[in-house]
Structure 1
């Protein structure tokens, strides 16, 4: 849809899509084509645990969720019980972008690839980054890192590796900076789910060890230093069940000249009482 709606001068990149197939691989299928009994088990046994994410995931895993395809697992995780029908929609039979990341560029993209932080490991919320060499910009790493959802750590296949979501976020932050270490002009962009404290604007620190790690590797977040207002904000009507203002969205730079920084998409959609997203956008203008 992005490719159809945007001007042809804009390149659109996403990770490889997960597409289920049926009829011996001849026909596309919806993400959870082969998961009806598992979903029925989850609906019957696990719905009463919906308010406790760790307990719910543990119950769903007991119903065989982690034996299904990553596309199905991700579809169910993104959709929730209220939108679950989309995972079985035989009229659309859609593929799914499991890590939920997309990179758009008006500049020429010389090379691009997707790297999964935990390759070949099925996850409830699988994480990855897009690495692209972009003309006149540098090397861009676009990602969405593990979030703080105030739940006990619940990734069934990573519990032996990480004790918490904070540990996983820091590990992924380190992998990003390791990949960027040999690049001359790297940018790490996206919802990094790490926030510094900015007392002037009532911004609370969250997973701050990861933010400090980026700083220790020579990166800076111009939006934080030049603007400092929250991007994930309690007053936003789309933010539910969260009590703190955070700056979770960043354009992290190294070896770039910064011209400006600002918060965008922080106004309500025309004729609506809510903005485009529960996260406001960040725009940073740079010069090489």
Structure 2
């Protein structure tokens, strides 16, 4: 349901968008007239010590790269962002990073929500200062610490660390013995690369790594885990918890920000063997979104879906492409994937990005740097999309967060911003 619309400049869109209810500081709204355009943006910040630039991969353990500079560059970008109206962020794993982002962007984006927020939008102080690993976790970490560091810590594939601990260090069922947040901290790593650091409050964990920033007031909010427990235990079935933020955003409507399961390798490694492989787990998460949204006439789903389309044009590699059809069957448009109709489509997870480890990324290990995936999407149902932005028919979907001021990538991902017409 694309609308062939010519947009002169984004400033005009922003002025139009400011007509309506809920724009920065406004509580009440005049009656809506005409239509306006809002930019819905998604970006995986990838704020994990396990994401190392090439020059550090030999000198650091795979779980101990500092990322403070990348985080600050991202914050500077958000602070100067005059386009995005709602920004769905993924990969904000630690509370201190979440707090830094909020402190640096509150003028531009006065409303926010995450798994660490209370229902009314304030941060939950008991969560943002809570160590990821509790006392029971700490006992296990002390047992495995030396063995893990000497024998397992150098694995480039993060999930293999847990298998190594079980097989080499002799701690069976370790993933089922530890809390969800502790597993998450171990997986993402610490700056010093020592897992005992996960017992400290400075590594307080943000389950799912999701954070929404908005120029418009968030009227209702909820957070949901896709896989909250397994069997009869009140415990997650995942190494990394997956879920979504379900929001009602003033003037826009229902917005879901999510981060779905990725392919960590050919071998499936998880806490519980509920699924046969990562594709099936990713499918189940799409299916849950389908059930949640099937009665909604209007909704927007955005985030790192870890599913890349199969396209006839461009250098985009497919992955879990059939799973995208679940939302398309509900009538969701996928403007990022469809942008190849006007120009050569851009990847969001690209082999040419120096932060992408070619040896552990299947398509990059055997292909040229121009190949990549579209993992990051803004999927829209019940809204018209601005398809082209000028008389040259230039694609209105814009790739964002490309490089910092030194020309370096800020994440393994690039983001996308999609202009949506709100009536």
TM-score norm. by structure 1 comes to 0.85
1:180 is displaced (CA, Å) by 1.3
Going from structure 1 to structure 2, the CA distance change for 1:86 and 1:276 (only over 3 Å counts) comes to: farther
Structure-1 residue corresponding to 2:324: 211
1:14 counterpart (114, 118, 131): 114
Paired residues for 1:193-204 under 5 Å: 193-204=306-317
Taking a change above 3 Å as real, the CA distance of residues 254 and 204 of structure 1, as seen in their structure-2 partners, is same
2:165 matched residue in structure 1: 60
Question: 1:239-250 counterparts in 2 under 5 A?
Answer: 239-241=356-358, 242=361, 243=364, 244-250=371-377
Q: Distance in 1 between matches of 2:157 and 2:376?
A: 26
Measure, in 2, the Cα distance between the counterparts of 1:79 and 1:153. Answer: 20
Separation in structure 1 between the aligned mates of residue 105 and residue 190 of structure 2, nearest angstrom: 29
Distance 1:32 1:89 in 2: 5
State the Cα distance separating 1:197 from its structure 2 match.
Answer: 1.9
Q: What's 2:202 paired with?
A: 93
Q: Equivalent residue for 1:21?
A: none
Tell me the distance in 1 between the aligned counterparts of 2:322 and 2:299: 20
**Gap runs ≥5 in structure 1:** 18-24
Structure 2 stretches of 5 or more lacking a match?
1-99, 118-125, 230-235, 365-370, 387-395
1:175-198 Cα deviation digits (max 9, x unpaired): 112111122311110000001122
Is residue 182–residue 198 contact of structure 2 (8 Å, CA) maintained in 1?
no
Deviation at 1:57?
2.4
Alignment-derived partner of residue 286 in structure 2: 173
1:255 paired to 2:400: no
TM-score (norm 2): 0.60
Q: CA RMSD in A?
A: 2.5
CA distance 1:41–1:218, shift in 2 (3 Å): same
Corresponding residue of 2:333: 220
2:258 aligned counterpart, secondary structure: strand
What residue number does 1:78 align with? Answer: 188
Contact 1:193 1:249 in 2 (8 A): yes
Give the alignment partner of residue 236 of structure 1, picking from 325, 328, 353: 353
Do the aligned residues in 1 keep the contact of 2:131 with 2:203 (CA within 8 Å)? yes
Q: Per-residue CA shift, 1:225-260, capped at 9, x if unaligned?
A: 125221111111111122151111000000111123
2:55 maps to which residue? none
Q: Which has the larger radius of gyration?
A: 2
What CA distance in whole angstroms lies between the structure 1 residues aligned with 2:333 and 2:195?
42
- Structure-1 residue corresponding to 2:152: 46
SS in 1 for 2:239: coil
CA distance in 2, matches of 1:264, 1:102: 17
The counterpart of 1:265, out of the listed 385, 393, 401, is: 401
Question: Structure 1's 55 and 279: CA in aligned 2 closer, same or farther, altered over 3 A?
Answer: closer
Structure 1 residue 153 and structure 2 residue 271: aligned? no
Q: Residues of 1 paired with 2:277 and 2:322: CA distance? A: 13
How many residue pairs get matched?
Answer: 273
Q: For residue 141 of structure 1, what is the aligned residue in structure 2?
A: 256
* Residue of structure 2 aligned with 1:36, choices 118, 129, 142: 142
CA distance in 2, matches of 1:207, 1:15: 27
Verify the 8 A CA contact 1:46 1:56 in the aligned structure 2: yes
**Structure 2 counterpart SS, 1:194:** coil
Map Cα deviations across residues 105-162 of structure 1 (whole Å, 9 max, x no partner). Answer: 11111110110001132421110100001111121111111112323110021x1x21
2:280 aligns to what SS in structure 1?
Answer: helix
